[in-house]
Amino acid sequence: MRFKSLAIVAALVLGLASSAFAGEKVTIKGSTTVLPIMQRAVEAFMKKHPDVTIEVSGGGSSNGIKALLDGTTDIAMASRQMKDKEVALASEKGIKATEIVIAFDAVVPIVNPANPVANLTADQLKGIYEGKITNWKEVGGNDAPIVVISRDTSSGTYETWEGKIMKGARVFPGALLQASSGAVLQAVSKNPKAIAYDGLGYVNDSVHAVKVDGVAGSAESAKSNTYKIARSLQIYVNGEPAGPTKALVEFILSPEGQKIVEETGFIKM
């Protein structure tokens, strides 16, 4: 009888836990770099809290932050930090944008596996993206034109590249712009003449990662600051997170959530 009583109590506790956020909804928008982490985390979280409705979509860091400032998302995913003008606009609207870093990343130049180029200097990368270096033979590759692929300007990855590689210069108009990290990967995997850049978690065997100034992008080089294009990945919420939003944030920062970060190819806290 005692075991039966304990089982009933346990069932009641589990029932209360699963219904703690019953009927509540969380909306998440923003960075396509952060998207794989969030999708996996949400999937695991909803197994623990099946009564919560969570909607996740990409669109880029800038669009996610805009949605937070417009009040159309609970969580904004961002692969860059908020700009001063965005912080000022949030203040004007009475929004306290709270930054929560959930992972780290390295932005990695990628080429097609058929391309023999394995290392480029930061200056060479800048020259390629300015449109000043136009043939692979100029950087030790084959005699073939360089097809430059870049993220669009709403992307936090684009802004990281612009800040750390372009140094204020603009990506030249002839670059082919892609709207997501996945689209970048696919474009390079199909074109032997292409170069692009992507988050570390997206790099797989369909492309070849290029070293920058002799240093490969990795968890170790990003954390030690020996890799030039490292960055944090963060989410933004309005004020202090509460309810299911708080529970989801705590889950992502937990050992289980950080294991998901690693499994998706990014760098845990």
Q: How confident is the model over 49-102, as pLDDT tens digits?
A: 999 999 999 999 999 999 999 999 999 999 999 999 999 999 999 999 999 999
CATH class, 2-104+232-263 region: alpha beta
Query: Where does the pLDDT of residue 19 fall: very low under 50, low under 70, confident under 90, or very high at 90 and above?
Result: low
Q: What's the chain's Rg over C-alpha atoms?
A: 21
Element (H, E) at 94: none
Residues in the chain: 269
Separation between Cα atoms, residue 101 and residue 98, nearest integer Å: 10
For position 14, what pLDDT does the model report?
40
The chain-wide mean pLDDT, for the chain, equals 91
Distance CA 222, CA 234 (A): 16
Question: Which neighbouring-strand residues pair with 27?
Answer: 55
CA 124 to chain centre: 25
Q: Comparing 23 with 133, which gets the higher pLDDT?
A: 133
Lookup: tokens for 48: 């623990």
pTM of the model: 0.82
pLDDT at 195: 98
pLDDT of residue 23: 81
Which contiguous run of DSSP H or E holds residue 258?
helix 255-263
- Read off the pLDDT of residues 20-49 as tens digits, 9 standing for 90 and up: 777 899 999 999 999 999 999 999 999 999
pLDDT over threshold 80, residue 17: no
Residue 2's pLDDT band, with cuts at 50, 70 and 90, is very low
Burial degree of 217 (CB within 10 A; 0-12, 13-18, 19+): buried
Domains 2-104+232-263 and 105-230 share a fold: yes
105-230, what's its fold?
A: D-Maltodextrin-Binding Protein; domain 2 (3.40.190)
**pLDDT band (50, 70, 90) for residue 183:** very high
Nearest by Cα to 79 from 108, 104, 55, 57: 104
Q: Where are the alpha helices (DSSP H) in 57-111?
A: 61-70, 84-92
Rounded to an integer, what distance in angstroms lies between the CA atom of residue 80 and that of residue 234? 7
Between residues 19 and 163, which one has the greater pLDDT? 163
pLDDT given for residue 225 in this prediction: 86
246 or 12, which is more confident? Answer: 246
The structural domains of the chain, with segments of one domain joined by +, span 2-104+232-263, 105-230
